[in-house]
Structure 1
Amino acid sequence: MPRRSLPSACALCGRIDAERVDGDLVCAWCGWRYGDAPDADLPPVVVEVVYYLRYDRRVKIGTSRRPRQRLSAIRHDELLAFEPGGRAIEQARHREFAAIREGGEWFTFTAELEHHITALRTTRDPWQLYARWVASATRR
């Protein structure tokens, strides 16, 4: 099937790949319906996430309300996953993986932690999942 493009960039994420959903043309990246415009009078939507960053054989489990800004400030090799939630979810994960904690928010990248991260990944790119959460929150 040929790849579709939006007539212009998505108003929410700026991508151009498109798909049809229930007869509507939507951004294939974030799911925003083409032609809809975010309300400029409202403050930007905040989607709090728990992030999993790999650096060598260690994983940092942290949280942020502005993940692009936060992750740009942390040295890492790869963003492994996002999980919706804030400090409470982050602390729950720190307790869950306490046996492999190396210090601070860093944990040894064990098979158990890898299994947890794999279960969180519903798309190949965590940023796409985040974009869909932002689009969903913006629609509300």
Structure 2
Amino acid sequence: MTTSDRLPAPCRLCGNAVGVRSEAGWVCAVCGWRFGDVPDDDLPLPRIDVVYYLRYDRRVKIGTSRRPRQRLASIRHHELLAFEQGDRMLEHQRHVEFADAREGGEWFTLSAPLAAHVAGLRRAGEPWNLYARWLSEALRG
């Protein structure tokens, strides 16, 4: 049987406070990291490439980063819409897919097809929660 409840302390990987308890122990409800495990500070974190979608007014920037917190901090935007796991090849595919809405560079008008794509990505979860889960999975790899 599993139950959800507050973790005894925040998750060491993502900081979330809610966990799922089973006979095997606690895991973070957001990233799946096993409570009590500590990421090895001597090892670099795994590389997780993401394609990000940032909204600024009615424009969306489609870009990629392997360090999304640093990258997004350097870009003026109103809202992080979504992440999808992928590198420059996926970013290029999205640029081609939404080329009709391209305004210049990596900026696109928030067209109906682009909004539908972002909505589909959002159904998978909140962007930072997804990133935490991908990181946890890579560390457990």
Q: TM-score, normalised by structure 1?
A: 0.91
Residues 21 and 56 (structure 1 numbering): CA distance in 2 closer, same or farther, change over 3 Å?
Answer: farther
Alpha-carbon distance, 1:25 to partner? 0.9
1:78-115 per-residue CA deviation (whole Å, 9 max, x = no partner) reads 10000101100000100111111000000010110011
* TM-align CA RMSD: 1.6
Alpha-carbon distance, 1:42 to partner? 2.1
3-state DSSP of counterpart to 2:15: coil
3-state DSSP of counterpart to 2:54: strand
Alpha-carbon distance, 1:24 to partner? 2.8
User: What is the CA–CA distance in structure 2 between the aligned matches of 1:82 and 1:24, rounded to whole Å?
Assistant: 30
1:19-65 per-residue CA deviation (whole Å, 9 max, x = no partner) reads 13564311112110112222333211221100000110010000001
User: What is the CA–CA distance in structure 2 between the aligned matches of 1:135 and 1:20, rounded to whole Å?
Assistant: 17
User: What is the CA–CA distance in structure 1 between the aligned matches of 2:14 and 2:21, rounded to whole Å?
Assistant: 17
User: What is the CA–CA distance in structure 1 between the aligned matches of 2:99 and 2:106, rounded to whole Å?
Assistant: 10
Counterpart of 2:120 in structure 1 is 119
Counterpart of 1:34 in structure 2 is 35
Whether contact under 8 Å (2:4, 2:21) holds in the other structure is: no
3-state DSSP of counterpart to 1:36: coil
Residues 22 and 91 (structure 1 numbering): CA distance in 2 closer, same or farther, change over 3 Å?
Answer: farther
Q: TM-score, normalised by structure 2?
A: 0.91
Deviation >3 Å, runs of 4+ = none
Aligned residue pair count: 138
User: What is the CA–CA distance in structure 2 between the aligned matches of 1:81 and 1:28, rounded to whole Å?
Assistant: 20
Match runs of 1:123-134 below 5 Å:
123=125, 125-134=126-135
